[in-house]
Structure 1
């Protein structure tokens, strides 16, 4: 009788271990999905910030000012392609910072 109870408990333990393993898999999947969704949200906000900044301003409270992206200095020598690449990188970085600021304001307004 005791060995039968032990066998039943071992079966229950194995079933619970399987459930725990499946639940951990679901959690890992959910975490990965969340990361992908957060990345997609950031990309979407960056795109909207570049293409339709008025949409973002309509959603967010107007009392906070966003940092403006830095404009390249017109007096700088922009003759070489390396200078142009550097300027593009600076503009891209400024756009990303602007999008992050917009996202932060949006999250705080919720």
Structure 2
């Protein structure tokens, strides 16, 4: 008997979600490799808030990502994302949140 998709090997017991389209949040760790994912999350925030947002990236001479700055003309200061951060956009939120990766790993589970 296959134990795939069973909880602790209990035959017939399965994890379920309500029928229909499940709604999940989006998250990405701030790395150069994840730049496309980060820009996608920022674009969704711009769409939800109805304001233009810009992204400025800084790379070291070695090619490593140093930081990403989110430009928002509706706020007094720009927002800086640094390597070691994670950016999260939950379904209900208008604005993305930035968390240390350690907290991101504690609070969220990547699917």
TM-score (norm 2): 0.27
Q: Which has the higher helix share?
A: 1
Q: Which has the higher strand share?
A: 2
